[in-house]
């Protein structure tokens, strides 16, 4: 394992420990956070704080807007593991995904994702996200 990956793993572990503690402290199954905070806690470890990603590790979220142009692309965004398996409830995940698309990618979904839509998508997570991405008509930027 490279030094960088070890560091990333350590950072993620610390974040997860913090998230678990914060969740327990809140006495709720999932603590609800404002979107920018949720993004920092659950997504930025891989996608960086500004969403630009890490080449070869996690894609650039600033470029995901075109995926909304097809139903398959829209579904992919809710089924990709980092999204589907985020340790937040459906309502918070819908808000987080809408926030990422609006604020980081600059393309608010129309209509916005709802808790109901996200619940159905994350219940059907992608087994092979790389193949699923390649099969989409929108090429990877």
**Which tokens is 52 given?**
């630009």
Q: How many residues bind ligand HEC (CB under 6 A)?
A: 20
Classify burial at 94, counting beta carbons within 10 Å of its beta carbon; exposed 0-12, middle 13-18, buried 19 or more.
Answer: buried
Q: Judged by CB under 6 A, which stretch of 22-30, 111-119, 129-137 contacts ligand HEC?
A: 129-137
Identified binder of ligand HEC from the candidate list 75, 94, 100, 118, rule CB under 6 A: 100
d(CA 97, CA 115): 10
Identified binder of ligand HEC from the candidate list 19, 64, 75, 84, rule CB under 6 A: 64
Any contact of residue 121 with ligand HEC (CB under 6 A)? no
Selection from 63, 42, 48 nearest residue 133 by Cα: 63
Residues that bind ligand HEC (CB under 6 A): 42-43, 45-47, 58-59, 61, 64, 77, 80-83, 86, 96, 100, 129-130, 133
């Amino acid at each position: 394992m490279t030094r960088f990956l070890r560091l990333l793993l350590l950072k993620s572990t610390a974040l997860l420990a913090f998230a678990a503690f914060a969740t327990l402290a809140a006495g709720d199954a999932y603590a609800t956070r404002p979107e920018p905070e949720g993004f920092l806690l659950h997504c930025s470890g891989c996608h960086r704080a500004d969403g630009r990603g890490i080449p070869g590790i996690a894609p650039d979220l600033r470029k995901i807007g075109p995926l909304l142009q097809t139903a398959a692309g829209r579904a992919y965004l809710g089924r990709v593991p980092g999204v589907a398996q985020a340790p937040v409830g459906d309502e918070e995940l819908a808000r987080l995904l809408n926030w990422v698309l609006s604020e980081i990618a600059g393309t608010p979904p129309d209509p916005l994702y709802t808790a109901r839509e996200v619940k159905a998508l994350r219940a059907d997570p992608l087994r092979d996200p790389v193949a699923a991405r390649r099969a989409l008509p929108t090429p990877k930027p």
